[in-house]
Structure 1
Amino acid sequence: MSLRLLHCPSCSSKNTVKNGKIHNGKQNHKCNDCGRQFVQDPQNKIIDEATKRLIDKLLLEKIPLAGIARVAEVSEVWLQQYVNAKYGQVPRQLEVSAKKRGGLTLECDEAWSFVANKANKQWIWLALDRSTREIVGVHIGDRSQEGAKALCSSLPPVYRQCAVCYSDFWQAYQAVLPSKRHRAVGKDSGQTNHIERFNCTLRQRVSRLVRKTLSFSKKLENHIGAIWFFIHHYNASLPL
């Protein structure tokens, strides 16, 4: 017997009939017009592309995953799986605009963060091009000399060969950066204002980096992915 009150979710036809039951015993239906099979009030909601695009934007704001799930009207379980896959696919290298040799100035800094608990510190090493405001170097790890080396290795060759680098007095910079092109300065000098301002932006936009947050990362892979996701967005949003 046709169920006149049920609409096909694909073509909106009312020409639907019962068609057995699914694995959990719930009544299955079939559309006689397009052949689509469906259940009434399905537990597994199909997430459309518009909702996914909204979620991608919300991931760039200071909103915890539970809040995003409420706004986008998706389950937290599905959202966590989506985020895991999204962050796993984010490139771990930067696309930086081409630069001429000479006249390049970098501002370098490192920001504290943690995963799972505060004993598991993860330092975010960053290098910013003072002229273009691009983030041109990134490394996430410990605050040792190896971390400074990894930051330098992440820089495009033209910066490693030519740029003058301003940083704080952390000894790892002095051990790694060429002494002729390294300037260790205090915050009152104003020479690292741009990178320090970016660190504030990072903390205000990525919920897991907000101080005293309840949205801290529980998996290192997602922690790193979230940071890279925002940095790619930040660089892409800069004026050409």
Structure 2
Amino acid sequence: MYCPKCQSTQIIKYGHTHYGKPRFRCQDCGRQFVENASRQPIDQPTRQLIDKLLLERLALAAIARVTGVSERWLQMYVNQKYQKTPKAVEVAQKKPGQLTIQLDEMWSFVGSKENKQWIWLAIDADTREIVGVFIGDRSRQSAKGLWKSLPAVYRQCAICYTDFWEAYEQVLPSKRHRAVGKETGKTSLIERFNNTLRQRVGRLVRKTLSFSKKLSNHIGAIWYFVHHYNASLRS
């Protein structure tokens, strides 16, 4: 018998699986396995397809049906991916000068609609890049979290257009803050991105069965799409 990972023959018995099959362990690399496994390791093309499907408005159960993987394996894969997703914006380098951003917040929930999670977003009006993200409640503290998530050049130079939510007035520099109504069109880009986000991330649809049950996965899914969106602007 050979280890499927390192091909070592230093194999020992290691109990049984919950299905009753004998389990073995490689003494060289620590890999645990069963002989003649009915399920083979998920190959790289399938993983790449899953990565793309996670950017579409699909439930995990639907992705499992399309790709043929088990829902249990898929959930573990998604947990690891969202945990490793960077929680900071990646934008093209900007020179100090006249910058304009639009800020807005959108409602979402985790587990039940009583557990509200507001997604605070900022978009560069010229490049259309998402330059700030924060997920929390709708308080002044969360507005401050959005402000801190902006790259330094935006905090130093940018003119900020928002709606009339009072938390912005308490956090943004008064000389560069412009509170405007929707009729002005000064917040149309961020409102359009909010719609894009709801259309592409199934867990953000208002009436959905694909909602998040873990806050960490909720946050990870949003950041995963934001990174993809910004990267698509540069390609």
Q: What TM-score does the superposition give when structure 1 sets the normalisation length?
A: 0.84
Q: Which amino acid aligns with 2:110?
A: V
Q: Given the alignment of the two structures, is residue 139 of structure 1 paired with residue 158 of structure 2, yes or no?
A: no
SS, match of residue 196 in structure 2: helix
SS at match of 1:149: helix
Partner of 2:158: 163
Query: How far 1:25 sits from its partner (Å)?
Result: 5.7
1:182 aligns with 2:177: yes
Q: Secondary structure at the match of 1:230?
A: helix
| 2:114 matches 1:119 | yes
Identity of paired residues, percent?
66
Unpaired runs of 5+ residues, structure 2, are: 5-12, 24-32
Q: How far 1:46 sits from its partner (Å)? A: 1.1
Aligned equivalent of 1:106 = 101
**2:189 partner amino acid:** H
Aligned to 1:73: 68
Please say if residues 163 and 180 of structure 2, whose CA atoms lie closer than 8 Å, have aligned partners that are also in contact. Answer: yes
2:199 equivalent in structure 1: 204
Partner secondary structure for residue 108 of structure 1:
strand
What CA distance in whole angstroms lies between the structure 2 residues aligned with 1:83 and 1:174?
A: 38
C-alpha RMSD over aligned residues? 2.0
1-structure distance, mates of 2:60, 2:38: 20
Could you say what secondary structure the match of 1:232 adopts?
helix
Matched residue count: 212
2:92 alignment partner AA: S
Larger Rg: 1
Post-superposition CA distance 1:37-79 (Å, at most 9, x none): 9755x34431011111100000000000000000010000010
- Aligned partner of 1:85 in structure 2 is 80
1:160-215 CA-partner distances (Å, limit 9, x unpaired) = 11100000000000111111111101111111111111000100000100120110
Partner of 2:26: none
Residue 218 (structure 1) aligns with: 213
Q: Which runs of 4+ in 1 moved over 4 A?
A: 24-28, 37-40
User: Which deviates more from structure 2 when the two are superposed, residues 93-102 or residues 62-71?
Assistant: 93-102
> Is contact 2:107-2:117 (8 Å) kept?
yes
> How many angstroms apart in 2 are the aligned matches of 1:112 and 1:100?
33
SS in 2 for 1:118: strand
Q: Which amino acid aligns with 1:203?
A: R
* Cα distance in structure 1, aligned partners of 2:62 and 2:40: 18
Query: Residues 165, 73 of structure 1: CA spacing in aligned structure 2 closer, same or farther, 3 A cutoff?
Result: same
SS in 1 for 2:55: coil
Which residue of structure 1 aligns with residue 59 of structure 2?
Answer: 64
Query: What does residue 149 of structure 1 align with?
Result: 144
Q: Distance in 1 between matches of 2:136 and 2:190?
A: 18
Task: Pick closer, same or farther for the CA change 1:105–1:67 going to 2, 3 Å.
Answer: same
Distance 1:94 1:63 in 2: 24
Q: Distance in 2 between matches of 1:115 and 1:26?
A: 38
> C-alpha displacement at 1:102, in angstroms?
1.5
How far off its partner does 1:141 sit?
A: 0.3
Unaligned runs of 5+ in 1: 1-9, 11-19, 29-36
Partner of 2:227: 232
How far apart, CA to CA, are the structure 1 residues paired with 2:228 and 2:102? 20
